[in-house]
Amino acid sequence: MDTILVVNAGSSSVKFRVFETGSGRPLKQLVSGQIDGIGVRPKLSATGASGETLIDRGYDAKAMPDVVTAMRTAGAWLQSEQNLHFVAVGHRVVHGGPQYDRPTLVNQKVFDDLERYIPLAPLHQPNNLAPIRILLERFPGLPQVACFDTAFHRGHSPVADRYAIPERLYSKGVRRYGFHGLSYEYVADRLCDLVPDRADGRFVVAHLGSGASMCAIANGRSVESTMGFTALDGLPMGTRPGQIDPGVVLYLLTEEGMTASAVQDFLYKQCGLKGLSGISNDVRELLESKEPAAALALDHFVYRIGLYAGYLAASLGGIDGFVFTAGIGERSVEIRSRIAEKLGWLGAELDAEANTKAALTISRPTSRVGLYVVPTNEELMIARHTLAAISPAPSKDAAFKRTA
């Protein structure tokens, strides 16, 4: 059968999904899997369409030292044991820079362009591009589509898009991009089905995971985002600090004697909840901890989300709904409750019972601002974009409601 492979590659893991394509039919997910622990304790696991286990196999670290080997292992298993034929591969690519504002078929020139943006997303971009490089070399005729986390935000106004710096730097691409766009695009699309009476209203969506950001959405389009030039800005994250005075970076360089590469490593890997708590970057562990530093880290996380809710509400001129999504947003009852309390001044009233059940709507009927929990699905959004990019005529899934 014809299928689309979706790949989301990180530094120590590769997530993949396989979707069946069919003329006039919605995309159907056949396989969901990942290889994690690459280079340490590699394991390939995958489930089928009904959630059944297809594979759960460990490997020796030396046999799978990097993402390249992991991709080859997963690809061989999918082809030999699942008998799948790929008509295209869709990839999550964090940064599209100033040039790429929509899903794009990849050739060598496009790939070379995307490599230039590695300094803008050093934690993500190299790993996102590794599977593309492998497939370009081994299967040059296989269509590959790069889907960008920055694309959904490219419609921002010039006022929102710019920093107060000289024009020459803006023309070189130094501007506010915003990230997690594939997640926000999916949520905006889902709101059309879940709350059709409010779908064209003003929403603040909080993508809360190890990487965290928030986005202001009006009429299904991004208006403003907490992230900017890189994925360091905005909310405190698992290991990234979020908003920080540039003077701190200058201090690290001049007074602490750190090199630029050391500062980059510090900001991407040693700050955020991990740095503030000194314990962990995992919200679940911090919630279980009795240490004051763990409580401080969580208080800071919730406080900054509350501040940015006001910031984004101002960009919209008010809000009709607030959406929780991604790992923390979808699963943490306590964090949702604490954030909802911070939104009280906007007229938000939490329904504690609905929140405990992670219902779609977790606000009371009397709440002036709707509170929602909408699980994200970046992989399905990538599959839709990939299908649209390779289809000569739009299919039911290729012509989905919201596009980048």
Q: Which helix (H) or strand (E) holds 326?
A: helix 326-331
| Structure tokens, 156 | 């921002």
| Structure tokens, 28 | 């159907």
Three-class SS of residue 285? helix
Cα–Cα separations (whole angstroms), residue 343 to 65, 185, 348: 46, 23, 6
Give Cα 275 to chain centroid, integer Å: 22
**Which residue in 113, 149, 245, 299 is the catalytic one?**
149
The one-letter amino acid at 365: P
Q: Which residue, chain included where needed, has tokens 């081994």?
A: 138
CB count in 10 Å sphere of residue 396: 13
Three-class SS of residue 129? helix
Q: What is the DSSP letter of 154?
A: T
Label residue 343 exposed, middle or buried (CB < 10 Å: 0-12, 13-18, 19+).
Answer: buried
Q: Which helix (H) or strand (E) holds 33?
A: strand 28-36
The answer to whether the beta carbons of residues 237 and 273 sit under 8 Å apart is yes
Instruction: Specify whether 149 is catalytic.
Output: yes
| Structure tokens, 126 | 């190299």
The one-letter amino acid at 7: V
Could you give the CA distance from residue 274 to residue 241 in angstroms, rounded to a whole number? Answer: 9
CB count in 10 Å sphere of residue 134: 18
Three-class SS of residue 194? helix
Of 104, 18, 3, nearest to 54 by C-alpha is: 18
Residues catalogued as catalytic = 149
